[in-house]
C-alpha cells in the first residue's frame, strides 16, 4: 500500500533521464528549500527539437516522479510542443497525485519551461 | 519479506496479553458501568481496577485519574480546561510541544489569552531559567512536554516544577512518549497535570488519561452524563480502559530491561550509521535522549524520498519534517533547534520498540546507505549549492 499511484511509484523506483548534461543548451531550476523540493532540468536542443533532457531533483516521491515523467513526455518533442506541457498534464500522466502534493511537488513542467526560456535567451530564439 | 517497524513513537502494536484482557468487554461484559443493574455492576470493578493500576504507576490517587479518548484530548483538556476555569490569563509553553498542546494554546491566544513560547537549544532541550523568566503574575499554566516525540529529547520537567511550585502556577506535562518507558510519578516530576495514552505502550488506540492533582482548577471540555466525577462525560470506553490498565502493568514490569536493550540498540545503530554514511547528523544529545528514538538528518536528500525507499525495503520510519503527513512545512521542532530548512527536510525519525532486534537494526544498516547514495546522485544539491 502506498499513498501514491502505481505509476508514481514506478517512476520513483526507476526514474528516467536522471543526471546532468555537459554543456547543456538550457538549464532551468525551480522550487525552494522551504517547500522541500528543488528541481533542475537540463536540455540539449537541435533544430528546435529536444534531443536530450535530464533532471536532478531534491524532493519527495512525487517531486522525483514528476521530474522523471516530464523528461519522458518531452524527449524528442519540439520546443513549442514542450512548452504546452503543464504541471497538471504531468500529474495526470502519473494517474494523479495526492492533493497536498499538487502545489509544492508538482513543479516539473515549470522547471522544463524555465530551461526552455534559458535556451531561448541564450540563443536568441 | 518480514517488515521492520521502526515507528514506535507513532504507535505500537497491541500486545496479545492486552488484547486478551480486552476481549470480554467486546463480548459478554458489555454493560454500562453507570447502570445500577447487574450488567453494569459486573463491569464497574474492572473500570476501577484499571484506574487503580494507572494511578499506581503514576504514584497518584485513583481519584486523580480521568479517562479520555487519548493524548490529544488529554492535552486539550489540560490546556483549555485550566484556561476556561481561569477565564483569562497567560500561558507558558515551549516551541517543541506536540500539536495537541501547541494548537490548543494558539487557539486560546485567538480567544484573548496570552502565551509565551520557550525556545530550545540545539540539543532540543528547554532551559528552566527561560521558564522562570517567562512567568508573570497573571500566568495560569505552564505546559512542558516530558519527552519530545520527534527527537526523544528529555525535558527538565522536575527542575521546572520547582519553579512553578514556588510561583504557585500549575504545571502540565505531555508524557505520552515517556509513560511506561521512564519513571513518570507525578510527585517526582512535580506536575499537577499529566497526559498519557495507551497506544504508545502496546495498548489500544482511543484511550488516554489526564491525571489531575487534587485542587487544580480545571473545567471539563466534554459535559453530559457526569461520568469521571463530572470531569469527562461520555460512557466509558471500558475495553480500552481495561487494555490501558493491562498495558501499563506489563510496561512497568519490563521497563528497565527494555531501556537497557534500547540503549544498546541505539548505540549499535548510531555507530553503524556514522561509519557507513558521510554528512549524516544524529540530532540531540544522547545523554538527554530517550534511547528508542534516532532523529537523523541527511544532507542533500529529502526525507520522504528516503521514507518511501525504506518502505519499499519493508522498513517503516517517519520523516522529521511533516511533509508526508500533509503539511509541507519543515518540522517546527528541528527548526526550533536551529537547523537549516534543507537539512530539516532531510530528516528521518527511527523509533524502536520492545520487539526491535539487533538483526533488524543490522538489516536497516545494510539497506539504508545505498538508498542515500542513490538519492544523493539524483539531487541537484550534492555538488552545486550547499543550502
pLDDT (average), residues A33-50: 90
pLDDT of residue B325 exceeding 70, the answer is no
> Which grid coordinates are listed for B72?
490529544
**Could you tell me what percent of chain B has a pLDDT over 70?**
96
Q: Could you report the per-residue pLDDT of B331-372, keeping only the tens digit for each?
A: 899 999 999 988 999 999 999 999 999 999 999 999 999 999
Question: Which H or E run contains A58?
Answer: strand A49-58
Least CB–CB distance from B378: residue in A15, A100, A103: A15
Catalogue the active-site residues of A: 35, 104
CB B229 within 8 A of CB B63: yes
Which positions ≥6 away from A49 have C-beta within 8 Å?
A: A76, A77, A78, A79
The pLDDT value recorded for residue A32 is 76
- Maximal C-alpha separation, chain B: 75
Q: How confident is the model at residue B6 (pLDDT cuts 50, 70, 90)?
A: very high
pLDDT (average), residues A17-44: 91
Domains in chain B, ordered, with CATH?
4-10+254-380 (3.90.1150.10), 16-250 (3.40.640.10)
Q: How confident is the model at residue B383 (pLDDT cuts 50, 70, 90)?
A: low
Least CB–CB distance from B302: residue in A2, A36, A103: A36
pLDDT of residue B38 exceeding 50, the answer is yes
Q: Could you report the per-residue pLDDT of A67-87, keeping only the tens digit for each?
A: 999 999 999 999 999 999 999
Q: How confident is the model at residue B384 (pLDDT cuts 50, 70, 90)?
A: very low
CB contact under 8 A, A39 and B342: no
Residue of B nearest to A39 (CA): B380
pLDDT (average), residues A37-54: 96
CB contact under 8 A, A100 and B326: yes
pLDDT (average), residues B26-41: 97
Which of A97-101, A106-110, B171-175 has the highest average model confidence (pLDDT)? B171-175
**Residue A115, helix vs strand vs coil:** helix
pLDDT of residue B327 exceeding 70, the answer is no
**Could you tell me what percent of chain B has a pLDDT over 90?**
94
Q: How far apart are CA B117 and CA B94, in angstroms?
A: 5
pLDDT of residue B159 exceeding 70, the answer is yes
Q: How far apart are CA B243 and CA B25, in angstroms?
A: 10
Q: Which residues of A touch B304 (CB under 8 A)?
A: 36, 59-61
Q: Which residues of B touch A63 (CB under 8 A)?
A: 302, 305
Q: Could you report the per-residue pLDDT of B96-119, keeping only the tens digit for each?
A: 999 999 999 999 999 999 999 999
The pLDDT value recorded for residue B387 is 37
Q: How far is CA A37 from the centre of its chain?
A: 12
**Could you tell me what percent of chain A has a pLDDT over 90?**
82
Q: How confident is the model at residue B320 (pLDDT cuts 50, 70, 90)?
A: low
CB B132 within 8 A of CB B163: yes
CB A4 within 8 A of CB A61: yes
Q: What is the pTM of this model?
A: 0.94
Least CB–CB distance from B300: residue in A58, A61, A63: A58
Q: Could you report the per-residue pLDDT of B64-99, keeping only the tens digit for each?
A: 999 999 999 999 999 999 999 999 999 999 999 999
Q: Which residues of A touch B312 (CB under 8 A)?
A: 13
Q: How far apart are CA B361 and CA B64, in angstroms?
A: 40
CB contact under 8 A, A34 and B330: yes
pLDDT (average), residues A34-56: 93
pLDDT (average), residues B211-226: 97
Q: How confident is the model at residue A2 (pLDDT cuts 50, 70, 90)?
A: confident
Question: Which segments within chain B are labelled E, that is strand?
Answer: 4-5, 65-68, 90-94, 114-118, 139-143, 171-174, 193-197, 208-212, 280-282, 293-298, 315-316, 318-319, 347-351
The pLDDT value recorded for residue B199 is 98
Amino acid at each position: 500500500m502506498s499513498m501514491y499511484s502505481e505509476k508514481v511509484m514506478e517512476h520513483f523506483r526507476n526514474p528516467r533521464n536522471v543526471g546532468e548534461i555537459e554543456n547543456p543548451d538550457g538549464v532551468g531550476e525551480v522550487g525552494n528549500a522551504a517547500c522541500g523540493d528543488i528541481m533542475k532540468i537540463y536540455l540539449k536542443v537541435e533544430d528546435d527539437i529536444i534531443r536530450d533532457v535530464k533532471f536532478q531533483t531534491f524532493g519527495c516521491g512525487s517531486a522525483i516522479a514528476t521530474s522523471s515523467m516530464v523528461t519522458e513526455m518531452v524527449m524528442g518533442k519540439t520546443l513549442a510542443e514542450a512548452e504546452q506541457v503543464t504541471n497538471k498534464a504531468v500529474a495526470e500522466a502519473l494517474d494523479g497525485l495526492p492533493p497536498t502534493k499538487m502545489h509544492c511537488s508538482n513543479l516539473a513542467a515549470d522547471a522544463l519551461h524555465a530551461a526552455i526560456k534559458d535556451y531561448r535567451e541564450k540563443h536568441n530564439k | 519479506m518480514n517488515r521492520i517497524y521502526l515507528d514506535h513513537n507513532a504507535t505500537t502494536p497491541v500486545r496479545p496479553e492486552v488484547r486478551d484482557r480486552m476481549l470480554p468487554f467486546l463480548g459478554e461484559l458489555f454493560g454500562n458501568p453507570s447502570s445500577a443493574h447487574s450488567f453494569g455492576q459486573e463491569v464497574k470493578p474492572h473500570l476501577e481496577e484499571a484506574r487503580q493500576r494507572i494511578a499506581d504507576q503514576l504514584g497518584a490517587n485513583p481519584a486523580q485519574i480521568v479517562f479520555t479518548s487519548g493524548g490529544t484530548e488529554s492535552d486539550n483538556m489540560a490546556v483549555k480546561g485550566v484556561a476556561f476555569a481561569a477565564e483569562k490569563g497567560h500561558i507558558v509553553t515551549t516551541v517543541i510541544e506536540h500539536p495537541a498542546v501547541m494548537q490548543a494554546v494558539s487557539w486560546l491566544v485567538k480567544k484573548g489569552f496570552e502565551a509565551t513560547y520557550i525556545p530550545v537549544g540545539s540539543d532540543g532541550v528547554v532551559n528552566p531559567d527561560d521558564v522562570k523568566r517567562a512567568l508573570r503574575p497573571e500566568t495560569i499554566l505552564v505546559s512542558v512536554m516530558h519527552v519530545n516525540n520527534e527527537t526523544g529529547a528529555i525535558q527538565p520537567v522536575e527542575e521546572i516544577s520547582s519553579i512553578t511550585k514556588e510561583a504557585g502556577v500549575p504545571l502540565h506535562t505531555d508524557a505520552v512518549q515517556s509513560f511506561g518507558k521512564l519513571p513518570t510519578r507525578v510527585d517526582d516530576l512535580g506536575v499537577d497535570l499529566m497526559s498519557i495514552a495507551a497506544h504508545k505502550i502496546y495498548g489500544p488506540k482511543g484511550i488516554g488519561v489526564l491525571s489531575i492533582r487534587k485542587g487544580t482548577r480545571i473545567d471539563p471540555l466534554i459535559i453530559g452524563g457526569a461520568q469521571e466525577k463530572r470531569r469527562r462525560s461520555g460512557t466509558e470506553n471500558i475495553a480500552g480502559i481495561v487494555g490501558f490498565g493491562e498495558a501499563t502493568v506489563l510496561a512497568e514490569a519490563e521497563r528497565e530491561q527494555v531501556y537497557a536493550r534500547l540503549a544498546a540498540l541505539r548505540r549499535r545503530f548510531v555507530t553503524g550509521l556514522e561509519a557507513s554514511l558521510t554528512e549524516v547528523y544524529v540530532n540531540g544529545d544522547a545523554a538527554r535522549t530517550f534511547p528508542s528514538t534516532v532523529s537523523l538528518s541527511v544532507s542533500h536528500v529529502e526525507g520522504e524520498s528516503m521514507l518511501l525507499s525504506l518502505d519499499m525495503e519493508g522498513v517503516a520510519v517517519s520523516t522529521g519534517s511533516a511533509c508526508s503527513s500533509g503539511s509541507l512545512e519543515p518540522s517546527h521542532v528541528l527548526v526550533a533547534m536551529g537547523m537549516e530548512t534543507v537539512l530539516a527536510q532531510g530528516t528521518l525519525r527511527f523509533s524502536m520498540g520492545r520487539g526491535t532486534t539487533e538483526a533488524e537494526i543490522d538489516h536497516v544498516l545494510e539497506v539504508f546507505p545505498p538508498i542515500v547514495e542513490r538519492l544523493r546522485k539524483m539531487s541537484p544539491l550534492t555538488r552545486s549549492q550547499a543550502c
